Amino acid sequence: MMKLNNIIDCDVHPHPRNMEEIRQYLPLPWRHRLQMVNSRGMYMNPIHVNRLDSETPDGGFPCSDPDFMRTQLMDAYGINYAILLPRAFATMYPNPDFAAAVAAAYNDWLADRWLDNNNKDGRCKGSITVAPQDPTLAVKEIERWAGHPHMVQVMMDGGSRAPYGQRQFYPIYEACAHYGLPVAFHPGTEGVGINESPAPGYPSTYIEWHVGLMLAFQAHLISFITEGVFERFPKLKVVLVEGGSAWLPPLLWRLEAEWKALREEVPWVKKRPSEYVRDHVRITSQPLENPDNKQQLLQIFEMMGAKDILMFSSDYPHWDFDSPTRAFPKLEEEIKRRIFYENAKELYNLD
Amino acid sequence: MMKLNNIIDCDVHPHPRNMEEIRQYLPLPWRHRLQMVNSRGMYMNPIHVNRLDSETPDGGFPCSDPDFMRTQLMDAYGINYAILLPRAFATMYPNPDFAAAVAAAYNDWLADRWLDNNNKDGRCKGSITVAPQDPTLAVKEIERWAGHPHMVQVMMDGGSRAPYGQRQFYPIYEACAHYGLPVAFHPGTEGVGINESPAPGYPSTYIEWHVGLMLAFQAHLISFITEGVFERFPKLKVVLVEGGSAWLPPLLWRLEAEWKALREEVPWVKKRPSEYVRDHVRITSQPLENPDNKQQLLQIFEMMGAKDILMFSSDYPHWDFDSPTRAFPKLEEEIKRRIFYENAKELYNLD
């Protein structure tokens, strides 16, 4: 085995080789209705979605082969654990039964192909995809997987019809808190299918849409805090994946100033918003901000308390992959250890 | 006359004493249809919208009396010029003719009550309200006022059905550029009337909505840059009012990284996004971010190039008023002079 470098990669995307691989887990009548549709049909990446070198040796879809992923990513960098987030895009569908079936099929596939098999040393950990259209079905799906030795979190797409702190989603958060599973949000269905845009109106281009995703994530975080979700579910942990992180200090300054002035409107918000973030929210690093002056990124890390809340992620095999060895400026040893390893190890209870 | 302290206040809100004051400028059939409606009927400030001490001495509506405003704000702080932004909320109406009529009525009222009269020394400067629902009517309204000695910019609400960089708005920007009038955006109709929410779905509370306004402003700025508006209208200047400013560095880091990778999708974006901001965008300061550690705000100022783009504003008479003497941490003399005076003086061609 390769030398391990105390790295947990919190955002790796296993893909099916083709849609048949998923369809085999879909019952009728849904089996033949699943298409390879997602946000890319509307906001089309003008270059390429995946790293050009990430196709499998036999020409297969990027990150569709557990062994090749392990060689190209985990062994190459000495990554201890990879947290796998499949891309089911289940939140985009109008039919809640279909959305739930697609989520379940991806979970069955993930377990079969990546977790229960081809995972001898257990270094691949999975995410339970749920569709929030019917929270009751989402809870059933969580219950179906809770206790699985390699499922470490619940995940939903960032795309939604409402801010994710609202009450219709609470059955999901209650189940997550009950089973000790963090709930992760990953972009990809904003403004697509039945979901609202990341910001007012539809963006025109992929770049506009893609930059705007960080705004949608901020809106969900504002919602979680102002709705008092963490008071209602004190054990709930939220993971914001691939939505950026450097926006956090300005957002919290604004939110805290308004909370000090307007808190009588939201008396259930009992602590400073920054305390809820520190205690309940973790943010993955990719795509890491990259100012000309690297010192400014370190200043932002200090402002946001990155030592406690940031977790390394590469987004393998996607085009804007962040290398564990090259994406970050030089960090002090303690903050590096926490960002690359300890924060995720504690969150996911990994040894 | 009071001593002037080289301060230009870029966000002062003159209000009518009552709606009759506006209705007298509205032709039939609109005159009797105008109600005192705005975002506050949906997202209700839980405390108070205006400074409690800003009612006029005879109990009139805050900032409804030019003389009292001058005493309480301009003379009290030695403010050289006040840039007046009336709150017509014209963007919220479904009927484009009504929206245009309301905008025109506010412009007539502003000129009569605040600019052509009660403004002997010309220290009050006005904003031409337009409704973007019908850009052709908006252009006519701009043409009606261009050349007025005290109208210094065009203004629209931040609330919209589409990102403001999109093509349907270009007739307005063409007129602004032609007449040398900056176009200012001010929050207030996001998620209200016909407009999209500031971020996915409707916020539940005023605090959530109010914090979210900064996200909508970022979305509009992303749109202006990715759509190439400043290449198409090289003389256009955009003013972002009351949407915060500390979010700018993280936003530009993200936008620049994506532009470097994806620029073939938007070949009309020829310069770094930060260059467009420096050359074409000004941001007003209120509500100024207020971190526990004031040094962090100065770091953000450095990151954003605040010296060139930030302009002081108080938001008088609103509840979250920023005092010229107390809102800012201690600044070096040059940056202070530019933020409090020079940047606005140059933008608005004031002497």
Provide, as residue numbers in chain A, all residues whose Cβ is less than 8 Å from the Cβ of B299. Answer: 296, 299, 303
**In this structure, what token pair is assigned to residue B274?**
């930060």
Does A266 touch chain B if contact means CB atoms closer than 8 Å? yes
Contact call for residues A91 and A159 (beta carbons, < 8 A): yes
Confidence bin at B45 (pLDDT 50/70/90): confident
B187 touches chain A (CB under 8 A): no
C-alpha B336/C-alpha B319 separation (Å) is 24
Report helix, strand or coil for B185.
Answer: strand
pLDDT given for residue A341 in this prediction = 98
Rounded to whole angstroms, the Cα distance separating A246 from B291 reads 15
How far apart, in Å, are the Cα atoms of B68 and each of A305, B19, B150, B316, B318? Answer: 46, 19, 20, 12, 15
Structure tokens of A344?
A: 């995720």
Condensed to tens digits (0 to 9), the pLDDT of residues A79-126 reads: 999 999 999 999 999 999 999 999 999 999 999 999 999 999 999 999
Name chain A contacts of B211, Cβ cutoff 8 Å: 222, 226, 251, 254-255, 258
Interchain proximity B291–A251, CB inside 8 Å: no
Q: Is A54 part of any domain? A: yes
The shortest CB-CB distance from B162 to any of A45, A201, A220 is to A201
Nearest-by-CA chain A residue for B45: A262
* In contact, B86 and B14? CB cutoff 8 Å: yes
Residue B342 has pLDDT above 80, yes or no: yes
Between CA B245 and CA B221 the distance in angstroms is 12
Give a yes or no: residue A1 inside a domain.
no
The residue with tokens 């006022």 is B145
Q: Is residue B2 domain-resident?
A: no
Radius of gyration of chain A (CA): 19
Judging contacts by C-beta atoms under 8 Å, the chain B residues touching residue A212 are: 219, 222
Span B233-259, mean pLDDT? 97
Q: Which residues of B touch A227 (CB under 8 A)?
A: 204, 208
Question: Would the CB atoms of A207 and B259 count as touching at under 8 Å?
Answer: yes
What does the pLDDT look like over B275-332, one tens digit per residue? 999 999 999 999 999 999 999 999 999 999 999 999 999 999 998 999 999 999 999 9
Tokens standing for residue B287? 């509500």
B113 pLDDT exceeds 60? yes
Least CB-CB distance to B218: which of A163, A215, A220?
Answer: A215
Q: Which of A211, A300, A320, A322 to mutate to test the interface with B (most CBs of B within 10 A)?
A: A211
Please indicate, yes or no, if residue A261 is contained in any of the structural domains.
Answer: yes
For residue B39, the model assigns a pLDDT of 53
User: Is this structure's pTM higher than 0.80?
Assistant: yes
Domain span including residue B43: 8-348
Question: Do the domain assignments include residue B211?
Answer: yes
How many separate domains does chain A show? Answer: 1
Interface test with A, best of B194, B222, B256 (most A CBs within 10 A): B222
Closest C-alpha to B72, from B314, B283, B306: B314
Predicted confidence at residue A14, as pLDDT, reads 97
How much is the pLDDT for A37? Answer: 60
Block means of pLDDT (10 residues each) for chain A, 351 residues, are: 89 95 94 73 83 90 95 97 96 96 98 97 97 98 98 96 98 98 96 92 96 97 98 98 97 97 96 98 96 97 98 95 95 97 98 81
Dist. CA A294–CA A63, nearest whole Å: 31
In a domain, B237, yes or no: yes
pLDDT of residue B36: 66
pLDDT in tens, B183-236: 999 999 999 999 999 999 999 999 999 999 999 999 999 999 999 999 999 999
Q: Do A250 and B300 touch (CB under 8 A)?
A: yes
A295/chain B closest Cα distance in angstroms = 10
CB atoms within 10 A of CB A47: 13
- Beta strands, E only, A147-224: 151-157, 183-186
A-B CB pairs within 8 A amount to: 220
| Cβ contact, residue pair A207, B226, below 8 Å | yes
Residues from chain A that touch B290, judged by Cβ atoms under 8 A, are: 253, 257
Pull the structure tokens for residue A37: 């549709």
- Domain containing residue B203: CATH number: 3.20.20.140
Query: What's residue B35's pLDDT?
Result: 79
B208/A226 Cβ within 8 A: yes
Examine the pLDDT at B147 and tell me if it is beyond 90: yes
Provide, as residue numbers in chain A, all residues whose Cβ is less than 8 Å from the Cβ of B246: 249-250, 253-254
Angstroms from A28 CA to nearest CA on chain B: 33
CB < 8 Å to A163, chain B: 199-204, 208
pLDDT at A33: 87
- Whether B319 has its CB under 8 Å from any CB of chain A: the answer is yes
User: For residue A201, is it within any domain?
Assistant: yes
Shortest distance, CA B147 to any CA of chain A (angstroms): 33
Q: Examine residue A2 and state whether it is found in any structural domain, yes or no.
A: no
Cβ within 8 Å, pair B249-A216: no
| Residues of chain A numbered 192-251 and touching chain B (CB < 8 Å) | 195-208, 210-212, 214-216, 218-220, 222-223, 226-227, 244, 246-247, 249-251
Write the pLDDT tens digit of every residue in A209-241: 999 999 999 999 999 999 999 999 999 999 999
Q: Rounded to an integer, what distance in angstroms lies between the CA atom of residue A119 and that of residue A124?
A: 6
For B163-177, write each residue's pLDDT tens digit.
999 999 999 999 999
